[in-house]
Amino acid sequence: MRKIFIKELTKISNKRKNIYLMINDLGYNVIEPFKKKFPKRFFNSGVSEQNMMGMAAGLSSEKNHVFVYSIANFPTFRCAEQIRNDIDYHNLPVTIVAVGSGLGYGHLGYTHHALQDYALMRIFPNMLILSPGNNNELVQSLDFIIKNPQPSYLRLDKDENKETKIIKQRIFPGKMIKLINGNSKKIILTTGSVQKIAIKLLNKKYKGYSLFSMPIWGNKTKMNVKNLIKKYQEIITIEDHFYDGGFGSWLQETINNTSIKTKITLH
């Protein structure tokens, strides 16, 4: 997904002159196409992630859309205060691009795992989460956030998806994309790079269920999602994150203190 992201961002930046890309001395062999084409709109802050967020906030306050790119743990927990005070509080158009969702960098140990990032990022009131599960969803999510700049968290899988054909369609926060048609009342709902796992479970444990994906979600989408949830009898959520504070937990929160009887199970 990383190379698809840079390819699309470079293409978009040909028309939009206010797009900037920042890194923290990471991303080599991926970010070069953007850096080469737009050297004046590319910054390497060095190993200084908190300063990087401050710089991104400053640039974005001048009507620019800044993309901050790093391995998932570095631009999230290490910069939580700067994200809260400098970006989210001021509702600035900064997109935090986190690479290595879940255990994408598993071989580097716990310090590089992204299993609690949803929990952190979704507590910021203005933050939108974009968690594409394939190349199509990535391109569509990027298209949405470019047209609707705001504080956002774009979570990417480290591995490259082998899909080659990009089919563009309009998506928006809270939209459920149908991947496999089945039971109209019992569904599996994913977010992020777990669709292959979901398909395996569909074939073994949840035969006949429909499979959906929700690549864009967050605090401001709860009301719309609530109306979607009540259509179903059972929803199985699958994600690469701890149960606490994750996507499934967020989905359950949307129907707290309501009369909605949909059974939501976190897998």
Distance linking the first and last C-alpha atoms of the chain: 24
Residue pair 241/117 in contact (Cβ under 8 Å)? The answer is: yes
pLDDT top residue among 162 and 85: 85
Would you state the pLDDT for residue 160? 66
pLDDT (mean) for 132-161:
92
Give residue 195's pLDDT: 94
What band does 162 get if pLDDT is binned at 50, 70 and 90? low
pLDDT in tens, 63-102: 999 999 999 889 999 999 999 999 999 999 999 999 987 7
| Ordered domains of the chain (ranges, CATH) | 2-156 (3.40.50.970), 177-266 (3.40.50.920)
* Bridging pattern class, strands 209-213 and 177-180: antiparallel
Q: What is the mean pLDDT of the chain?
A: 92
pLDDT of residue 169: 78
Q: What percent of the chain has pLDDT over 90?
A: 82
What order do you get walking across the sheet with 263-266 strand by strand? 177-180, 209-213, 183-190, 234-238, 263-266
pLDDT on residue 177:
95
Residues 6+ apart with CB under 8 A from 19: 9, 12, 13, 41, 64, 65, 66, 67, 146
pLDDT in tens, 207-255: 999 999 999 999 888 888 998 999 999 999 999 999 999 999 999 999 9
Cα separation, 79 vs 260, in Å, equals 37
Percentage of the chain modeled with pLDDT above 70: 95
Taking the model in full, what pTM does it have? 0.95
Calculate the alpha carbon distances from 133 to 160, 190, 194, 255 in Å: 11, 8, 7, 25
163 pLDDT band, cuts 50/70/90, is low
Range in 1-15, 45-59, 77-91, 155-169 the model is least confident about? 155-169
pLDDT digits (tens, 9 = 90+) for 175-190: 999 999 999 999 999 9
* Predicted pLDDT of residue 17: 96
